[in-house]
Structures are given as structure tokens and as C-alpha cells.
Amino acid sequence: MRTPLIAGNWKMNGSAERVRAFGEAFAGDRLPASLDVAVIPPFPYLDQARRAFARTPLALGAQTLSPEPAGAHTGEVSAAMLAEFGVAYVLVGHSERRQHHGETDADAYRRVCAALHAGLVPVLCVGETLKQREAGATRDAVLGQLAAVLKPLDADRRRRLVIAYEPVWAIGTGRTATPEQAQATMKDIRTWLESLDSDLAQTLRLLYGGSMKADNAAELLAQPDIDGGLVGGASLQVDEFFAICQSAG
Ligand SMILES: O=C(CO)COP(=O)(O)O
């Protein structure tokens, strides 16, 4: 059985006050037991969030990491530093990093290796652009991104990943993939994983991301190959995010 995972990617949003409010709202055992939930705030809030979330089921995630272990890399943050601050998950290859920071599949592979080496769970983000979808190239685009990272990894390391399918055209646009569209690509991903390693295909969690909200989450999460969500805008409001978590339970 795959435990559902709901992860809230705050992107470059948030404040000390928002971290505090999440710690308060999620305190206690109000969430379904068989559910993993993570909040992914910007770097400066990680330490505060670790303390604020101590009495909640919320795990901590980071939005990116350096592929390098240490040294002269101004502005970068290493996997070991994230681990030292209680981070469990780290996003790798988010489409905003690919589009605006020039990150390639080769970069994603190096970051995944760095994360695994420090004991973090990499959440590898893949997804097609609108142009690729309209050209009928969704499957090739998504499986190409996956293959570049998963193929060179050995079986043990592959099993420690989470995969997030985020169609680029659905991110921050309010234009959610329909449950059928999302399921079709997730199924392609699962089938491809099966060809790589059948155990892996059964155990790896596949998240959907792209305009997921409280009012469409249940329908998306009911799809057989969708094991959770990577939520952007709707993860910023505590009530909305809480409602999404409840629909995953
Ligand atoms: O990019 C996303 C999460 O990583 C999705 O963002 P939105 O939910 O705002 O579309």
C-alpha cells in the first residue's frame, strides 16, 4: 500500500506569521492517520517551521538544494544543511527551476544523488509544456525527464524517491488537468516504472500538481495512479490546505 502524501510548496511566499498559524492549526491528531503531509516553505523559515511543527504531523520540505556538498557556491544550500535542520523532503527539477534557472535533467540527477546521500527524500518534478501537450508529446517529455534521472540510479536508490507530475500549463493558471488527463499520464508513468522494476512501480508514490484545490482534490486523488498532491497556491491558506489533506485521508 502506498501512503498518500500531500505536500504544500509555498514557493517564494510565506512569513513567520504564516508558519506560526500552520503550527497552531495542525497541532494534535486531526488529520487522517494514514496520510503523510509536508510543508515546503522558503529556506529562511525552515528552522522556525521545524519548531512550530514539532507537535503536528507536518513534515518539512525544501524547495531545492545544491548538487555540491560544500564550498565556494555563494547563495546555495547543501543537502547536509537541510538534513541538519530536520528537512525530510526536497523538491528537485521543479518546472520553475527548469524554466527560470536553467536546470536540466543532468542537474536534476546530480541533485537527486546529493539528496539521497544526505538521507533526504527527493521529490522529482516532471511535466510537459503546453506546446508539448499540443504536439502530442506529453508521454515522451515526461518519460524522458524520468528516464534521465531514474535509469542511472540503482534499485535501492530509486525506491527512495517520490515523483510529482506537474503539467506546466496547469501550474498557477487555475487550469487543472482533468482527473482523466492526470490519470492518463500517471498511468503512463506507472507502466514505464513497471518496465524498469515491477516492485518499484507498486511502491513509488506519484503526486499530481497543478492548480489542485480543496474543491478538485478529492476527484484527482480518487484516480488509481494518483497517490497525493503537490499543491502550490492552495497550500498558502491554512483552511484550504487542511481541507485538501482531509480529502486525501
Ligand atoms: O507548482 C506547483 C506545486 O509545486 C503547483 O502550483 P499551483 O498549485 O499554484 O498551480
Q: Which domains does the chain have, with CATH numbers?
A: 5-247 (3.20.20.70)
Pocket of ligand 1 (CB under 6 A): 9, 94, 166, 171-172, 209-212, 230-234
Q: Using an 8 Å Cβ cutoff, are 41 and 19 in contact?
A: yes
Percent of the chain scored above 70 by pLDDT?
Answer: 100
Residues 177-203: pLDDT tens digits? Answer: 899 999 999 999 999 999 999 999 999
Whose alpha carbon is nearest atom 3 of ligand 1? 232
- Residue-wise pLDDT for 28-56, tens only, equals 878 888 999 999 999 999 999 999 999 99
Residue 122 burial by Cβ neighbours in a 10 Å radius (0-12, 13-18, 19+): buried
> Residue 91 corresponds to which amino acid?
L
Say what angle helices 238-247 and 214-221 make with each other, to 10 degrees. 20
pTM to 2 decimals? 0.97
| CA–CA dist 111, 74 (Å, integer) | 17
Distance 87 CA to ligand 1 centre (A): 20
Give the residue numbers annotated as catalytic, written as ranges: 94, 166
Average pLDDT, the chain: 96
pLDDT digits over 103-148, tens only? Answer: 999 999 999 999 999 999 999 999 999 999 999 999 999 999 999 9
User: Do 200 and 193 meet the contact criterion of CB atoms below 8 Å apart?
Assistant: yes
Strand partners of residue 229: 6, 208
Query: How far away, in angstroms, is 168 Cα from ligand 1 center?
Result: 9
Strands 58-62 and 5-9: unpaired
ipTM passes above 0.95? yes
Mutation choice for ligand 1 from 5, 10, 11, CB with most ligand atoms inside 8 A: 11
Is 34 annotated as ligand-binding?
Answer: no
